Structure 1
């Protein structure tokens, strides 16, 4: 019997339980606020940062939408409360992201970034500045195309 208990204790030491994160843990990391008026680049940054912070604090999948929604204010909060597609009980994080992009990454803004990318020239920019702008725009244009786009 004693050997069995020792095995259990040893296993507990070898495989520590990872703490599941909470909304409080998430908030302690200082997530960005999103109001819905900041534009497409900020919306992309907000979504990326929220996702990274939730990964860091180990927010469970079933709590990701609720956790992220804490940082929605003003127009974004109204959208979150009133959008019928968001009212489903088991809304997944992936579905939330799709609906968020549909709302806050408008086609006009995507087209403007596409145009900026297509017209990008080095001009008076240093090589490093040009490369940074190229990377920023190409990431975003490819990101908007989606897989196989």
Structure 2
């Protein structure tokens, strides 16, 4: 009968424990599958946000700011972008002309105002979305009738335009009255 050999012990340094080896492999796989942490600016660039040059027109300016703000809200809710960084991050997406405008504005602001998103939005609207544009949109809402529009198209316009007329949009009874007034009678 051959001599009896003692089983190898896992305590020997040259032979790793199978359980430890399995845990190490699992950890390596998980870290490979987990995406790397990105800075808010990297995240913004990966979203392929457009630069605002300053000559996109009133609707283009409004659309751009709305898109930036919506993106920031999502990033903020995920804990990736604090509100205090919104203005600084936005400045990365200003083109040459609009960046020059913002640099001029910054010179007149206090340090607290420079990082206040509401101040930035107000100044942006004042510069790129003039009151005349808002007045035309209010007028469109006031005169909105279904006419040849489909019911869906009328509803879409009716729910989009009130943001220019906050006095009416804040009153549900007035909104209902205006909706009925504008629809076709059937």
What's the TM-score once normalised by structure 1's chain length?
0.71
Deviations 1:75-128 (A, max 9, x none): 322211112566433321121112112222201111111121122221211111
Q: Does 1:121 pair with 2:145?
A: yes
8 Å contact kept, 1:86–1:96: no
| Residue 56 to residue 45, structure 1, CA distance change in 2 (3 Å) | same
Structure 2 counterpart of 1:11: none
| Residue 138 to residue 146, structure 1, CA distance change in 2 (3 Å) | closer
- Displacement of 1:60 in angstroms is 1.8
What's the TM-score once normalised by structure 2's chain length?
0.59
- Displacement of 1:41 in angstroms is 2.7
Give the structure with higher Rg (CA): 2
- Displacement of 1:47 in angstroms is 1.7
Residue-pair matches, total:
129
Partners in 1 of 2:127 and 2:120 — Cα distance? Answer: 11
Structure 2 counterpart of 1:83: 105
Q: Does 1:34 pair with 2:52?
A: yes
Question: Gaps spanning 5+ residues in structure 2: where?
Answer: 1-36, 172-186
Classify the secondary structure of the residue corresponding to 1:83: helix
Classify the secondary structure of the residue corresponding to 1:110: helix
Question: Gaps spanning 5+ residues in structure 1: where?
Answer: 1-18
> Cα RMSD over matched residues?
2.8
Partners in 1 of 2:84 and 2:70 — Cα distance? Answer: 16
